[in-house]
Structure 1
Amino acid sequence: MTTVGHSAPPLRRLEPVWLAASLLGVALATWLVVIARMEGMDAGPGTNLGGLGWFIGVWVTMMAAMMLPSVAPMVLLFARVSRQRAIQRRAYIPTWIFVLGYLAVWTAFGLVAYGVYALVAALEGGLLAWDRAGPYVAGGAVAGAGLYQLTPLKSICLRHCRGPMHFMLHGWREGRSGALRMGVAHGTFCVGCCWGLMLALFALGVMSVFWMAAVAAVVFAEKVIPSGERASRAVSVALVALGLWIAVAPERVPGLTDPRGTPSMHSDEISEGVHGSRSSGVSARAWAVVRSYTNGPARAGQRKEFPWRTGG
C-alpha cells in the first residue's frame, strides 16, 4: 500500500505568503487613504502642516505607505526566525511588535520635523518667501540631501537595511521587549538611511502625492533591488541637479508647485483678516502661524499663511 501525502503545504508554511500579502495590502490601503486626504491640498514647498495631532496621524499613514514595501524583507525574515524558534520550543514573538518599534522611530522623526517646522514658521519673518530666499533654501535642502547620499553614514545605514540576515544573526533580542528594541534599532538605521530623502520631500512639498511616490520609489530601489547601492549614487546626482534647478528656475521644474500660485499667499490680505494683531504688537504673520496650528492644513484656495510664500 502506498501512502498518499498531502498536496497542500502545512498552514505554517503559508504564513510568509499571508504576511507579505498583509504588508502590501496595508501599504496599498494607506496609499489610498493618503491620496484621499491629500486631494485638493496645497502641495508646494512650505506646506502648512496643520495641528500636531492631525499631522502625526497623516505622517504615520504616510510612513506606512512609503516604508512598508521596502521594510518587508526585514519583517518577513523576523517572522521566519521567530517561527523557527517557536518550533524549537522557545517563546514565539509576534511580528507586529517589531513593526511597532520600527514605526515608533519614524513617528519620533515626524515629531522632530514638526518642531523644526514650527520654529522656522515662527522665526523666518518672510525670509523664506518664494520671491526672496525660498527657492534657494528649498534647492539647497534638496541638493544637500543628494550630497548626503555619498556619505559614509548613508553607506553604513543602507548596508544594514539591505542585509537583514546580518541584523537577525547579531542583533536578535529575546522576548517582546527585545522585539520592540529590535524594531527601534532597525528603524534608527532606516532613519539614518532615509532622513535626507525626507528632507528633500519636505522641501519639495510633503503633502504632494507625486513627490511622496517618487521618494518611496527611491527608498524601495535603494533597499530592495540588487543594484540598490548604484541606484543610491545615481539618486545623489539627480538630487543635486534638481536642487540647482529649483534654485535657478523653480517655475520650470516638473511636478513642483509654485507656492505663489494659490490665492491664499498674499500677505496683505491675511494681514487684513487679523483682528488688530498689529496694534497689539503681534505681527500678522506670527498670528496666522499660531492660528494654523489649531486647524487642519490649508487646501487649494483657502486663506492661510505658510513659510516660503510671498513676503509682506
Structure 2
Amino acid sequence: MKALSRLLPGHGTLWLMFFGGVLAAWALLVATHVPVAVPHPAAEYGLAYLISLCTRSVADAGFVSVAAMWSLMSLAMMAPTAFPAFKTYSDMTYTDAASGSSLAVLVAGYLLVWIGFALPAAYVQVQLADLHLLDGAGKSTSAPLNALLLVVAGAYQFSRLKNACLSACQNPMTFFFSHWQPGHVGALRLGLRLGAVCLGCCWALMLLAFVAGTMNLAFMGLAMVLMTLEKLPQIGNRISAPLGVFLIISGTMVGVLALIDLLNGGI
C-alpha cells in the first residue's frame, strides 16, 4: 500500500481496487485455460461456478456465460488502456475540481460502457456459434468472415471517427476541460463519454477476437498492449497507420487465399 501511494499519490485505496479488479479479471481469464483445483468450500460458495462461466466451449455456452466472458475481457483489456485518463482526472482532485469518490464514479461510468459493448458482442458470438462459424475456442472458421473483419478493422484505422476518438484518448486533459461537469452526476457523464470515446477508438480491434479466438489469451494481451500504446501521443501516432496497413494487407491475403481455395474446389 505504501509503495502504491508513492507511485500514485492520493486515493491509494481506489487505485488498489482498480488494479485488483484488473488482476482478478485476468486471473479468471487465465483460469479458463489452466486447470484449477477449486477447494471444496470455495466450490460451495460459487468460485467454481464463476470459473465455469468461461470454461465452457463456445458450442455449449449460453448467452449469460459468453456475456460474462466478454465483460471480463473488457475489464482486463480496456481498463488499463484508460489509466492515463483516470490518472489525469485523479490529479485534478488536488484542485478541488473533483474528489476521490467522483473518480470512482468516473471509472464506473467508463466500465459501464464496455459492459454494454460486451452484451451485443456476446450475442454475435452466440449467433455465429449457432451457425457453426466458430470453433470451441471462439475462433472464426470462415475465411471470408476473417478477411472482412481484418479489412474493416484496418480501414477503420484511417477513418475520421477513429482519428477523432483517438485524439481525445491521447489528450485526456483537453477532453476533461472540454466536457467538464462537476459533482458525481457530472463524473458519471464524463465516465460514460470517455467510455464512448474509447469504444469509438477500439471497437474494431476488439472484434478481431473472432479472428484470433475469443478465448485466446495471447491475442488479449497483445491487443491490450497495442491499444494502450495507441493512446500514448508520441507512440500512438506512429503505430496507428502501420497497424491499419498491416490489417488490410492481412485481410486481403486471407480473402485471396479463400478465393483460390474456392476456385480450386470448383475445378
How far apart, CA to CA, are the structure 2 residues paired with 1:49 and 1:99? Answer: 33
Aligned length: 230
Between the aligned residues of both structures, percent identity stands at 30
Which residue does 2:44 correspond to in 1? Answer: none
Is 2:149 aligned against 1:141? yes
Alignment partner for residue 75 of structure 1, among 79, 83, 86? 86
- Give runs of aligned pairs for residues 64-143 of structure 1, distance below 5 A: 64-85=75-96, 93-122=101-130, 124=131, 128=133, 134-143=142-151
Alignment partner for residue 230 of structure 2, among 222, 229, 233? 222
How far apart, CA to CA, are the structure 2 residues paired with 1:17 and 1:91? Answer: 13
Deviations for 1:217-265, whole angstroms, at most 9, x for unmatched residues?
1101101261202211111112122223434558xxxxxxxxxxxxxxx
Structure with more relative contact order (C-alpha pairs < 8 Å, separation 6 or more): 1
Which residue does 2:202 correspond to in 1? Answer: 194
How far apart, CA to CA, are the structure 1 residues paired with 2:142 and 2:253? Answer: 13
TM-score normalised over the length of structure 1: 0.64
| 2:84 alignment partner AA | P
How far apart, CA to CA, are the structure 1 residues paired with 2:60 and 2:212? Answer: 14
Deviations for 1:123-147, whole angstroms, at most 9, x for unmatched residues?
x4x6x489xx811211221121111
Is 2:243 aligned against 1:232? no
Which residue does 1:160 correspond to in 2? Answer: 168
Is the CA contact (8 Å cut-off) linking 2:90 and 2:100 kept in structure 1? no
Q: Which has the higher helix share?
A: 2
Is the CA contact (8 Å cut-off) linking 1:23 and 1:69 kept in structure 2? no
TM-score normalised over the length of structure 2: 0.74
Gaps of 5+ in 2: 36-51, 136-140, 259-267
Is 2:22 aligned against 1:27? yes
Is 2:32 aligned against 1:37? yes
Which residue does 2:249 correspond to in 1? Answer: 241
Is the CA contact (8 Å cut-off) linking 2:230 and 2:239 kept in structure 1? yes
How far apart, CA to CA, are the structure 1 residues paired with 2:247 and 2:101? Answer: 40
Deviations for 1:101-121, whole angstroms, at most 9, x for unmatched residues?
111111111111222334444
Cα distance change of structure 1 residues 154 and 26 upon mapping to structure 2, 3 Å threshold: same
Gaps of 5+ in 1: 1-9, 251-312
How far apart, CA to CA, are the structure 2 residues paired with 1:33 and 1:227? Answer: 30
Is the CA contact (8 Å cut-off) linking 2:70 and 2:121 kept in structure 1? no
Report the alpha carbon displacement of residue 48 of structure 1 after superposing the two structures with TM.
4.3
More deviation, 149-158/227-236: 227-236
Is the CA contact (8 Å cut-off) linking 2:70 and 2:122 kept in structure 1? no
| 1:31 alignment partner AA | W
Which residue does 1:283 correspond to in 2? Answer: none
How far apart, CA to CA, are the structure 1 residues paired with 2:134 and 2:104? Answer: 43
State the structure with more CA Rg. 1
More deviation, 67-76/187-196: 67-76
Which residue does 1:289 correspond to in 2? Answer: none
Is the CA contact (8 Å cut-off) linking 1:24 and 1:68 kept in structure 2? no
How far apart, CA to CA, are the structure 1 residues paired with 2:20 and 2:121? Answer: 28
More deviation, 48-57/237-246: 48-57
